[in-house]
Chain A
Amino acid sequence: MKMLEIKNLHASVGDKEILRGINLTINAGEVHAIMGPNGAGKSTLSNVLAGRDGYTITQGEVLYKGENLLELAAEERAQRGVFLAFQYPVEIPGVSNIYLLKAALNAVRKYQGLDELDAIDFLSLVRSKLDLVKMDEQFLHRGVNEGFSGGEKKRNEILQMALLEPSLAILDETDSGLDIDALKTVSEGVNGLRSADRSIVMITHYQRLLDYIEPDFVHVLSDGKIVKTGDKELAKELEKTGYSWVQQGQAE
């Protein structure tokens, strides 16, 4: 099954065109890595897919499970299983983490026609997910990302993903800011969530992540376009040579 089809997607902020004709098809069960230089448009692509305001789609279309994704509101996309792990997770002071987790899970369950989980079932579910990312229970009762370290914030994103069980997860630089042990834990968490009916898009700058989570495809995004696609060997090559050669190739 095709999870996501991006066809000739162009997106701008104001007069500035940032995505300049993206084509990408992701099947259910696949893991894709997107790499590319700073400012290439990787986060922009994830924001556009997740439905953030402020972008104008000037051309192209995006199908998610065969449906027109771009006409859905951000929360509708989330309820239908599109999940974005943020490059910079947001702090919400005073709102306990567990409250947000519960509200998020209930929003998804409501869309699926399921009842809200009662407090006891919810807590035992959350606890099992905490184990998965090796997070202490005290994080449930702190404000959402409030005073979390960089690494703790990233773990918290994966905790949310584990709980919400999305169909399409986009992880925007989830590996940056993680120490070596945390990288391992988070990777194990993500690997545990790999399944035949779930697709994962990982945005990263480091080949190292791909040693832990093996992608089926690696794409290079540069200047708003996918300029090269390969398997995990491509990431190794990039590690050695940098992006100058793909960018040169593009200019030809």
Chain B
Amino acid sequence: MKQINKILEDFGSTIILALRAFSYLPCLPRQWYRLVEQCYLIGYTTLPIVAILSFFIGGVLALQAGYSLAPVAAQDFIGSLVGLSLARELAPVMTAILVAGRVGSAISAELATMKVYQEVDALVTMNIPPERILVMPRLIAILIMMPILTIIANLIGWIGGAVVAQNVDFIQLDTRIYFQGIKNFVTFRDILDGLIKAEIFGFVTILVCCNVGLQTVGGPREIGSSVTRAVVISLILILLLDYFVTSVLLKF
């Protein structure tokens, strides 16, 4: 019973935080400096790791596809398989997970520290709503950066698949045929679905991490457990939402 109460409370406070943050949307022009800073931070911290991981995920997808398709001489479909898996599923989910690990954890740590050391209280006494300068710019920044990161993940993943498909000796698929497969089977709609998912995951992740951070009470130990909590909740939500958002998107 206590746990259910806690979950409902967290859910409610997260929604309220989102509403508050968006009520300060008209202040965005005055917060552009913070917005740029956050975009830079998100891009700077996640881009290298997104690039490396998506290259290898594209590669391993091509490897697995080749392993099952080469015996029946169906290598030509590797491109479409890798392309679709990345665009519809793996690029958005992987990017969101990396954002949770790299950006979400940092945000919850920073906000939890600010809360514990009364910086948030100081903002309140100065009539500066914390949602306006701490949360809103971050939410907008993730909405801007998520599609960019996901598109980059797609492209690099596809290239990774191409490199593996061409160079592994039991596949040996010509790069041109590989990309022809992507071109024939991956539609704009597939990419768009992926981007919609990425937006939702990224937004929820940052929102949850902000909320968990700002709800922290106590001392240094609580800051640590807030970070863990924020990341774990984010990961769970990303994977749960993945199923539901996908099933909704497939209906249209």
Whether chains A and B associate is no
